[in-house]
Structure 1
Amino acid sequence: MLDYTFPLTSEESAFAEKHHDVLLRYLHFHKLPVDEFYDIAVFGYLRAVRKYLARPELRQYKFSTIARRAMSCDVRHSKEYWNRAKRKGDVCSFDEERYFGDLRDTVTESLENVIDFERLARKITPAQRRIASLRADGYEDREIACICGIACADVEAEMEKARCRILMFRQENTAMAA
């Protein structure tokens, strides 16, 4: 597959300069304003240059045929994008007095959540945290067992112990809040 992210080689640049009139004729033939469509069509044109020189089987066709097809694709896609319905969102003013207090409350809640999370993290063992992290990453129990070097049954047992500790932590916090 051709990589179109690199600059053109000197051979490709020379070829592109030599056949630049293909691009201009394309825009003129299709009655496309140069100031609006040149930047769109030129990418298809340069892709066609790179493809035409890299793939010898394309030499059975005229370069202009390959270039017109590539430019037509880019122009068509741009027109489709421009004609596509755009998403709209309502913009409303921000009432600082109304939301300032709420913002402080949100920051306070976030801080409390972080503190609670840190306390909760101390309740479970490092092994349980690692198993939970691997599960969150999508690993299955047998894969976790292999990674941690434990039996598959131990993975579920560790997670059950962690669940019990988390439930006890929640009950303790609920009792303290009341």
Structure 2
Amino acid sequence: MIKRPLSDSPLTAEERVFAEAHHNLMYRYMRIHDLDIEEWYDRLIIAYLNSVKKYLRYEKLQSLKFEQVFFRTLDNARSNYWRDLNRYKRCPEGGIWSIEGMEAINNNEAEADDCDFYNLLKDDRISLNDIVIDSLYTSALIDELEKEQYKKIVLLLIEGYSGKEISNMLHISYGRYSRYIAEIKDIILMCIG
């Protein structure tokens, strides 16, 4: 028998009644940790329901107060959220350009020291990752890519994966990945040039 994660199983009638009776703990938790209710409620509600399921399904936990299980579960959920936000794939090396900055470049409103988007593409020191993430034309550029493999690479770059991660995920050598990157860069240059 395959065990399903707690979040995949529906609440029993007993768990629903228990969850309703202790729902005020959600607001207490957010107030204690000074969390915006509108922002955090949806992020923490699944963890809350999982804490109810854990508490009622595992007899060992019933020797504790529900609040202990609840606070520990929500602390873990909040910690996991921040950990996931700071993962490498979500923090590209070159940072992220703002849309306003890209519009200024496209409208020639940028300062004289700034270079335009086309010159950035021609600069070999700028990685394709930086170009694709920051481009206002990403979806249009993806449509121009004929090979499905190219589209996958660009979409994975947008998600923040590194070249090594992408080559492993697509089961291609890093050398082939590098050749694809050069070809994609040439296609992009032709599209905007």
Report the TM-score when normalising by structure 1: 0.48
Answer 1 or 2: which has greater helix percent: 1
Bigger-Rg structure (1/2): 1
